[in-house]
Amino acid sequence: MGRKFVDDSQAGASLLAAVICYEPDLGQLTAGLSALRVEGLDVLVIDNGSQAQERIRKIAESLKCRWVANSDNRGIATAINQALAVATDLEVPWLWTFDQDTEILQGAARAMRLVLSDPKVVGRAALVGMRFIDRQTGADYGQPSSSHDESVHEVDSVITTGCATRVAAVVGVGGADERLFIDGVDHDLAIRCRLAGWRILRAPGSVARHSLGHLRRHRLLGITLHSTNHSALRRYFMARNTLRIVAAHGLREPRLCLRLVAVLAATVVTVALFEACKGRKLRALFEGVRSFCLNEYGPAPSRVVSRLAGAAQAANPADGA
């Protein structure tokens, strides 16, 4: 039997959940929206021009969700800003953003609301992240590696999905940077909030299932490496936007920026050694570096899209295409 819908809205702070989607798996999307509604949340669905947009709208309406439809893919940053505008109009102090494949576990909303309603815990916090269980591996990548303590703690950054956003704080620092389009939007926003005097927290007691790409573990010379197997186009954005964030904030936020550079370097290694379509993805990483040097932002330039498509057509079977 499924869980019953409950009104949990009085169990703490008021917040609006926003699910941002683009060409989602409709089954996963339905499960994620249902989990949010079961927890008594007001839910906004923003679709970025999916081919199945009409079917997505019907799913959203059947679950009594609010609905915003974009005619094309405007990127996650624009969608976040659209959600912030809706939350502002509704006078809701907190916005809880989710990817299309994130599914909160039972009690996650109550746990997050209780955190957000406690000024001693959440005072001067702009962003509050969750703890995640990876769908493929069962890996727990929101919990401190040194402890199983579920107390709220301060971190340098949190990812967009599962992030409770103090609307006034984020609007005050200019919202999400739409030039980034996708990837790195969360880290850039966290840095700007921190520089404005806000804190970034994680609340491990609020838990969700989420897929970090298609996460795989590998062993190399006694070291455990993780490959996320994101698409070539995502690799382009990761390289381009990482370099932009480091160039913009490296001197003021060296710890996080060094970690982002280390992740990018590790990505090159794991793509080259372990991932399918490695030729295309390495080309995408190179194109991301090139676009950074050319100061190209927003959606991927048509030049990049066509080159990656050409690389896919020319790839041999050993390249995984």
- What are the structural domains of the chain? 15-210 (3.90.550.10), 216-319 (no CATH)
H helix or E strand, kind and range, residue 140: none
State the pLDDT at residue 177: 98
- Token pair 């959203």 in the structure block, residue: 60
Q: Which amino acid is at 121?
A: V
State the pLDDT at residue 315: 41
Q: What's the distance, Cα to Cα, between the start and end of the chain in Å?
A: 41
Sign (positive or negative) of CA dihedral 261, 176, 203, 48: negative
Buried b (16+ CB within 10 A) or exposed e, 57-83: bebbeebebbebebeebbbbbbbbbbb
Long-range contacts of 304-309 (CB under 8 A, 24+ apart): 304/236, 305/233, 307/283, 308/232, 308/233, 308/236, 308/280, 308/283, 308/284
State the pLDDT at residue 64: 98
pLDDT tens track of the chain, all 321 residues? 344 433 344 445 699 999 999 999 999 999 999 999 999 999 999 999 999 999 999 999 999 999 999 999 999 999 999 999 999 999 999 999 999 999 999 999 999 999 999 999 999 999 999 999 988 778 787 544 444 557 999 999 999 999 999 999 999 999 999 999 999 999 999 999 999 999 999 999 999 999 888 888 888 888 888 889 999 999 999 999 999 999 999 999 999 999 999 999 999 999 999 999 999 999 999 999 999 999 999 999 999 999 888 665 444 333 333
Q: Residue 81: CB partners within 8 Å, gap ≥ 6?
A: 175, 176, 178
CA distance 255 to 275: 28
State the pLDDT at residue 149: 58
Question: Can you tell me whether residue 269 is helix, strand or coil?
Answer: helix
State the pLDDT at residue 3: 40
pTM of the predicted protein model: 0.90
DSSP class of residue 45? E
Q: What are the Cα distances from residue 200, in Å, to 15, 39, 99?
A: 17, 24, 19
State the pLDDT at residue 12: 53
